[in-house]
Amino acid sequence: MKTKLKRLTTVCAGASLFAACADLGHRPIPNEQRPASASASASEAYVLGRSLHMARRFEAATASYMTALKADPGQVNARNGLATLYAEQGEFAKAIPIWQRLTQEVDGKAGPETAFLFSNLGYAYFLNGEYDNALSALEKACVLDPLNYRAWNHLGSALDKLGQPERAQLMYQQAAALREHDFKADYALAQRAVAPAIEKAVNASPRAEDAWAATEVRQLANGMFELRRIPAATLARPEDTPAPLPASAAPEKALLEIRNGNGVRGMAKALSAMMDPDTLRVVRLSNQRPFDVRQTRVEYQPPFREAAGRLAESFGNAVAVEAGSVKPANMRLVIGRDIVNRNFAPKPVAKELPATFVQHQTGPVGARHNEEDPTLEPGA
């Protein structure tokens, strides 16, 4: 696998490509040798389940996915949708085995059409803290579909967590190039010999759902997932990229809000006294009910990316997430259930070193689990 990945990366480098990222999404795969009636029934139930899922009606979506699987136990889309639903709720112990079985079933005939399953599995491993397993699955996703920038980006994130920042940067660069550049058009124009995997990805047939919409899952700022539908009209053009950071340096002292998302009474107030007064000024304490944030995160505005990265590093497994707004502050520290020890203290991080952190690009925060409790109980 490493030899194949190295060869593939070399070829992509010759085409000015480099970096890392994968997505948790939906790709229909035809199931062979099943009755037409069962197929139709399963497909109808799956489409209904996906609609309910996108509406965040989880119980109803689960029931529809189960109905689809009762009609056709091997239906890939319903199984993938169910795994995605579990992952969206942080239930990786349920989601990962489903993706493991799916990837085992398609392994012998894996190609660009099934690469998303390995990407899903790898990203779930990553979010569950299983970085070695994530690396293996994401490498395979990149080999199977070398033009999927999300797989390369997630691969970079896994390498970052495994202490390989230089390789991670190469993966990030490749993801950026793929996201911003139409490699298929260049391939058609140049007609040069490329790696078989790239040629297969370029010539892959359009996926059936492209006729109306694709579905993908992204991680929200609160560590949960969000199912998003991408209209078919937007699939032909590259996804909008985040706006470039301003050239001017961020202010030396950032305004920080600390939000209690784990329910440990007094933790937000205690942590506020531990912040570096030379670089941070705590301007607000708040609660995030129902106190079910799984992983600590730092939300930030673009000019404060490096500061957010340093703060995230000081909390170990915390992630830094660019958010639409964190007013009235510049950054927001949301305390998760990964930190429940009242004696916890952030570790020092050198100010002059660039932070290495996993950045999940998301839209503006707005899901139920990001809703703010407007009233702060004493000692939050």
pLDDT level of residue 167 (50, 70, 90 thresholds)? very high
The pLDDT, as a whole number, for residue 43 is 85
Whether residue 194 lies inside any domain: the answer is yes
| Residue 213 β-bridge partners | 231
Do 227 and 359 belong together in one domain? no
Choosing from 206, 234, 262, the residue where a domain stops is: 234
pLDDT, one tens digit per residue, over 22-48 is: 333 445 444 444 455 666 788 888 988
Residue-range definition of the domain harbouring residue 356:
254-370
Instruction: Give the sheet arrangement for strand 319-322, strand by strand.
Output: 280-287, 254-260, 331-335, 297-300, 319-322
pTM of the model: 0.48
pLDDT level of residue 249 (50, 70, 90 thresholds)? very low
Do 131 and 25 belong together in one domain? yes
Whether residue 263 lies inside any domain: the answer is yes
Do 46 and 95 belong together in one domain? yes
Question: Within 10 A of 375 (CB to CB), how many other CB atoms are there?
Answer: 9
Do 209 and 142 belong together in one domain? yes
The pLDDT, as a whole number, for residue 162 is 93
The pLDDT, as a whole number, for residue 251 is 54
Beta strands 331-335; 297-300: pairing state: antiparallel
- Helix and strand numbers (H, E) in the chain are 13, 8
Do 203 and 317 belong together in one domain? no
Choosing from 203, 234, 265, the residue where a domain stops is: 234
Whether residue 53 lies inside any domain: the answer is yes
Residue 108: φ, ψ to 5°:
-70, -25
Do 178 and 105 belong together in one domain? yes
Sign of CA dihedral 4, 5, 8, 14: negative
| Residue 332 β-bridge partners | 257, 299
CATH code for the domain in which residue 123 is found = 1.25.40.10
Do 38 and 92 belong together in one domain? yes
Distance CA 191, CA 193 (A): 7
Find the mean pLDDT for residues 115-138: 92
Do 224 and 363 belong together in one domain? no
Do 204 and 269 belong together in one domain? no
Whether residue 375 lies inside any domain: the answer is no
Choosing from 234, 264, 298, the residue where a domain stops is: 234
pLDDT level of residue 345 (50, 70, 90 thresholds)? confident
C-beta separation of 216 from 209 below 8 A: no
Do 296 and 227 belong together in one domain? no
pLDDT, one tens digit per residue, over 90-117 is: 889 999 999 999 999 987 777 888 889 9
Q: Which amino acid is at 302?
A: P
Find the mean pLDDT for residues 214-236: 44
C-beta separation of 323 from 299 below 8 A: yes
C-beta separation of 152 from 9 below 8 A: no
Q: Which amino acid is at 309?
A: G
Distance CA 163, CA 28 (A): 35
Do 30 and 123 belong together in one domain? yes
Distance CA 6, CA 168 (A): 14
Q: How many domains is the chain partitioned into structurally?
A: 2
Whether residue 242 lies inside any domain: the answer is no
Is pLDDT of 208 > 60?
A: no
Do 79 and 228 belong together in one domain? yes
Sign of CA dihedral 356, 359, 365, 371: negative
Helices (H), 72-182: 76-88, 92-106, 115-127, 131-144, 149-161, 165-180
Q: For the chain, what percent of residues have pLDDT higher than 90?
A: 26
The pLDDT, as a whole number, for residue 55 is 73
